[in-house]
Amino acid sequence: MTPVIRHCLASPNYQCGSKPAENCLRPFCRLSSMADQNTRSTAERRGIKAGTQHWSQHVLNCLYPKPNAIFKLICFPWAGSGSTYFANWGKKINDLVEVHAVRFAGRESRIQEPVVNDIYQLADEIIYALLPVIRDKSFAFLGHSFGAYVAFVTALRLKEQHRLEPQHLFLSSITAPYSEHRPTVPELDKVSLEDFKQFLVLCGGTPNHITNDLDLLKENMALLKKDLNILKNFIYDKPSGAVLSCDLTCLTGSEDIEKDVEDWKIVTSGTFDVHILPGHHFYIMEPANENFIHNYIVKSLEFTLLSGF
């Protein structure tokens, strides 16, 4: 059984001076050191040096490069998903923004790589890929559902390890991890296909074209379970103060099961906003909503950049 590690960034004043990190008594720092080693090992097995441009292209999918873009938007997909949906935003969104979609292990060109079962290790893999990409541009994170938690933890780790923060954090269709309304993930190891389908339908976190097709669901069941187990193992206590300083926007559907997204407000000292758009958990895929989100992202990033002058 994988031990559950509680995040120790609940205090905004957290600092650690232990060198090396594995000497620190805090579980967070020991985990960071182990994740660092695991990420390098994963890259080395594939003949890729972690932290290089090659590793970035391996983990981040940028279908539409825009060398003259001012901003970079890093998108984190939902459980069981690949990177293609968000990568295609690069064609639709304003040319001021270059879109990179995270490609999680266990799918697409990373299908042979094992899926990690800890969200902090997952964030560290992403950070290695991010650093060469974001070093010279303003950047923002957007995550949907499962991807929103990964985006949040990646933002925390990026601040802790590299003193970098996204300009804006867009979190879609997700309850704050410390909320009493956060959906509970049951034990999934021995659940039947039909019971698994019922759980996915109830929580609304999987597109209908998968839950309505038993063959397709069976094909994706193992990967979905692995992603959901990451959620199950993720515990984050309510912080006593802001742990980020970037602007934060929560987006959700009017019929979504995710509730009380306003609870996210306390994690940042930056501005906070909520937008409720028509639709269910996958409201984000409706063309009108998608267009609104694209325009809102661009305007938000422009506003934040101009307010800095």
145 in active site: yes
Catalytic position from the list 83, 145, 172, 173: 145
Angle at which helix 119-134 crosses helix 214-233, to 10 degrees, equals: 90
Q: For residue 6, what are its two tokens?
A: 């509680």
Question: What are the Cα distances from residue 118, in Å, to 19, 31, 84?
Answer: 23, 10, 23
SS3 234: coil
Contacting residues for 17 by C-beta, under 8 A, at least 6 apart: none
Which residue in the list 58, 100, 144, 281 is annotated as catalytic?
281
Active site residue 138: no
For residue 280, give the 3-state DSSP assignment: coil
What are the beta bridge partners of residue 102?
60
> If you search the block for the tokens 């949040």, which residue do you land on?
152
Which position has the token pair 């999934």? 188
As a dihedral over the C-alpha atoms of residue 245, residue 156, residue 169, residue 240, rounded to 10 degrees, the angle is -50
In order, the DSSP letters of 92-126 are HS-TTEEEEEE--TTSGGGTTSPPPS-HHHHHHHH
Distance, CA of 245 to CA of 265 (rounded, Å): 11
Active site residue ranges: 145, 281
